[in-house]
Amino acid sequence: MLAMKKILEKSQNPNLDSPCKDINNIPKCSVCTEPIGIAVTTCFGTRVYPRSCKCRRNALEAQRLKDKNMEKQIRLKQVISNSLMNDKFRKCTLRNWNHSVGNKNLYKVANQYINKFSNMKAENKGILIHGTPGNGKTYFSACIANALMERLVPVICVGAIGLTERIAQSKRTWGNEGIFTVLNSLENADLLVIDDLGTEEDTKWTRAMIYQIIEKRNVINLPLIVTTNMSLEELKERYDDRTYSRLLGMCSFINNTGKDIRKIQGKEKSQKFLQELLNS
């Protein structure tokens, strides 16, 4: 950084904006020896204008890249802190995917979805992944969310309970206006992940809110990923037809029939723990 600053300072010629008397003696950069002025002849005579030498051009380019990366870093921090994602979600990445427990096809789907996200977004293609507890639905969705956030795509990843509670809290403080504030804020995300749909309290009001959220994604034409333990019949029964039909239109449904990974990992953990106790 210091070196770059020095080059920028050294390669500047403060006197070049005054008319140059000796155009045959244009000063040179002391670092790269390229001239730091250029003679231009007009009807008013010949003048020497400032010109960037090679090392100054390089230093400016390096500075530009550095600023760009810094900006990226700041945006990434904002994207992550705006995602509502908790720390557990953040650790779920394709890099950490455990192939001995994770489903091969799910890995492929997540990978493709990430790589083709601009198409997915343009065509409003989302995913609804349903299945029994512990078989990697949240992990799968969080992998997509994290990879997109790494690419600076704004993502909101939130549990159905947290989301409906947030709306309720905002309503308590601001009345109906509060509901729209939260709903409108979801527009900022190119991808919205709703984890564990169906675990929120089952009332007419929460069902109406879920409809509003899904309808909002539909209207603004932006994708949605949903995870749920509910079967399609249960979903159809619980939410009204308008909700279910929108989900059908916006999401490809994946039935995850994998085993309970949580159970497998829990067993391994307790065996390891017992082993450690026995060996100590």
Site for ligand ATP, rule CB under 6 A: 97-98, 101-102, 133-139, 196, 227, 229, 261-262, 265
Which does residue 262 touch among Zn ion, ligand ATP, Mg ion, none (CB within 5 to 8 A, set by kind)?
ligand ATP
Q: Find where tokens 């969310």 sit.
A: 145
Q: What CA–CA distance (Å, rounded) separates 257 from 249?
A: 22
In the list 138, 164, 170, 206, the residue contacting Mg ion (rule: CB under 5 A) is 138
* Dihedral sign of CA atoms 80, 82, 87, 92 in order: negative
Tokens of 20: 């140059």
Find the shortest distance in angstroms from Cβ 136 to Mg ion: 8
Q: Which is nearer to Zn ion, 50 or 154 (CB)?
A: 50
52: left (phi over 0), alpha (psi -120 to 50) or beta: beta
3-class secondary structure, 23: helix
Binding part of the chain for Mg ion, among 45-53, 134-142, 248-256, 257-265 by CB under 5 A, reads 134-142
Q: What CA–CA distance (Å, rounded) separates 134 from 114?
A: 23
Q: Which is nearer to Mg ion, 170 or 227 (CB)?
A: 227
Which does residue 29 touch among ligand ATP, Zn ion, Mg ion, none (CB within 5 to 8 A, set by kind)?
Zn ion
Give the H or E element holding residue 278. helix 261-279
Find the shortest distance in angstroms from Cβ 138 to Mg ion: 3
Q: What CA–CA distance (Å, rounded) separates 68 from 65?
A: 5
Contacts of 222 (CB under 8 A, 6+ apart): 121, 124, 187, 189, 190, 191, 192
Find the shortest distance in angstroms from Cβ 55 to Zn ion: 3
Find the shortest distance in angstroms from Cβ 159 to ligand ATP: 9
Q: Which is nearer to Zn ion, 14 or 45 (CB)?
A: 14
Find the shortest distance in angstroms from Cβ 37 to Zn ion: 12
Q: What CA–CA distance (Å, rounded) separates 70 from 271?
A: 46
Query: Hey, which residues between 25 and 64 contact Zn ion (CB under 5 A)?
Result: 29, 31-32, 53, 55
Q: Which is nearer to ligand ATP, 15 or 98 (CB)?
A: 98
* Residue 5 CA: distances (Å) to CA of 10, 40, 60, 63: 8, 29, 10, 9
Q: What does the binding site for Zn ion look like in residue numbers (CB under 5 A)?
A: 11, 29, 31-32, 53, 55
